[in-house]
Amino acid sequence: MTNRIAIIDFLNQDVGLKILFPEADYFILQEEFDRTQIYSKYNIKPIVHNKDVNVYEHVTSNKYNIVFIIAALYNSIEIYNNKKNTAFQLHIHEKLKNIKSLINKNNFDKVCFFDNYDYDYDPNIIFHNSPCNNIYFFKRYYNKEKLYNTNVFQFPYIIFGHQCNIDMITDRFNKKKEEQKQSRIFFSGSLMNHKDNTYGVYRNRIEIMNRIVKKVNIYNPGHVNHDTFIKILSTSKYCLDLLGVGDPNIRTFEILSSKSLRISQRSNLKWNFEDEFCEETIFQDENELLEKIVRLENDPQLYQECLDKQNEIVRKHMNIGSLRSYILDKININIT
């Protein structure tokens, strides 16, 4: 049997799955972003849900046996932990109701949700913690200290917004030549203060950055255009990756694709591979950051080993073939 894949994108969430599976048909339930440039780059022709096309009627098990669905599912949950979910969005809730109806009306072999919500939870909650045999969840933030149902897997590459992480790490990384690095720690990003009262997560970049700059010199050029930003990032020996609203965030992949050394704030994120980034590139607080930067600066061989390991991980695990195979292996599908 020839496998036919439909990708249903709730809200212009991410075009990455279409890059991994160019043979799939790509449906968008609601357009929010202008992605003309990336569509043109990959010759993508999305089918948009509107008065002329009803995605819920078009995607049936007579036409497709595998369905990939991209959404921040947590936004569809009205009550979480016995509290009203402050991230609840009615239009996402309604779309999920329609998707559930679509699943119930059809006989798809595999249904895979790619959940890009910022924080950790078991997405089986949307099916009342009773996972169906043919439903799988690939989630952006997979906590390495937790146990999940066996139908939940790591997939930290999907994100909401204009950028596409999979495009960056599978295309920009391969085209980017390693450039002469300047001995600086580059950071450019929003210094936000974010709290999710329902889930109980508090992220304060302002506080951690205020502590860091008292110990370490940070190079921040301020607001620059994107090409200049990428140039500065690529020519910096170190690039600081702070926890933001979600882990990983867009900066993570900008750094990884730049071939500069990522210095990251410690988290419980579990990647989809067993290889580890060097411990010398991970810090808990400003004191540990200072210690590790001094060590890396004083030991060029250690710096190069850390950078080589990082580039090896990206080259080995973050390419179209590996990411595609990872998904298919988890759902036990063989597509040539």
Higher pLDDT, 33 or 105: 105
Write down which residue in 162, 186, 219 finishes a domain.
Answer: 162
pLDDT in tens, 212-265: 999 999 999 888 888 899 899 999 999 999 998 888 988 999 999 999 999 999
- Based on C-alpha coordinates, what's the Rg of the chain? 21
Tell me, yes or no, whether 252 and 142 share the same domain: no
Tell me, yes or no, whether 155 and 231 share the same domain: no
Tell me, yes or no, whether 262 and 304 share the same domain: yes
Region 268-292: mean pLDDT is 97
CATH number at residue 304: 3.40.50.2000
Does some domain include residue 171?
Answer: yes
pLDDT in tens, 27-36: 999 988 889 9
pLDDT in tens, 131-188: 567 999 999 999 999 999 999 999 999 987 778 999 999 999 998 787 789 999 999 8
Note the pLDDT of residue 263.
Answer: 98
Note the pLDDT of residue 155.
Answer: 97
Q: For tokens 């990336």, what's the residue?
A: 38
Sorted by sequence, the CB contacts under 8 Å of residue 60 that are 6+ apart come out as 105, 106
Tell me, yes or no, whether 99 and 219 share the same domain: no
Tell me, yes or no, whether 145 and 189 share the same domain: no
Cα–Cα dist 247/266, whole Å = 10
Does some domain include residue 233?
Answer: yes
Write down which residue in 162, 183, 200 finishes a domain.
Answer: 162
Sorted by sequence, the CB contacts under 8 Å of residue 293 that are 6+ apart come out as 185, 216, 238, 263
Write down which residue in 130, 162, 194 finishes a domain.
Answer: 162
pTM: 0.94
Q: For residue 5, give the H/E element and its range.
A: strand 5-9
Does some domain include residue 26?
Answer: yes
Q: In the 8-state DSSP scheme, what is residue 122?
A: -
**Whose CA is closest to 85, among 72, 98, 104, 68?**
72
Query: Whole domain around residue 72: which residue ranges?
Result: 5-162
Tell me, yes or no, whether 30 and 126 share the same domain: yes
Sorted by sequence, the CB contacts under 8 Å of residue 17 that are 6+ apart come out as 7, 24, 26, 68, 70, 114, 158, 166
Note the pLDDT of residue 262.
Answer: 98
Tell me, yes or no, whether 95 and 196 share the same domain: no
Count of structural domains, the chain: 2
Sheet of 5-9, strand order? 47-48, 25-28, 5-9, 66-71, 110-115, 135-139, 152-154
Does some domain include residue 100?
Answer: yes
Provide the CA 154 distance to its chain's centre, in angstroms. Answer: 10
Tell me, yes or no, whether 95 and 187 share the same domain: no
Tell me, yes or no, whether 13 and 154 share the same domain: yes
Average pLDDT for the chain? 92
Tell me, yes or no, whether 173 and 199 share the same domain: yes
Does some domain include residue 331?
Answer: no
Tell me, yes or no, whether 109 and 96 share the same domain: yes
CATH number at residue 28: 3.40.50
At 82, is the pLDDT very low, low, confident or very high (cuts 50, 70, 90)?
confident
Cα–Cα dist 159/166, whole Å = 10
As given in the structure block, the two tokens for residue 297 are 């600066």
At 210, is the pLDDT very low, low, confident or very high (cuts 50, 70, 90)?
very high
Return the SS3 of 204: strand
Tell me, yes or no, whether 171 and 149 share the same domain: no
Return the SS3 of 128: coil
Does some domain include residue 273?
Answer: yes
Sorted by sequence, the CB contacts under 8 Å of residue 110 that are 6+ apart come out as 65, 66, 67, 134, 136, 331, 333
Amino acid (1-letter code) at residue 61: S
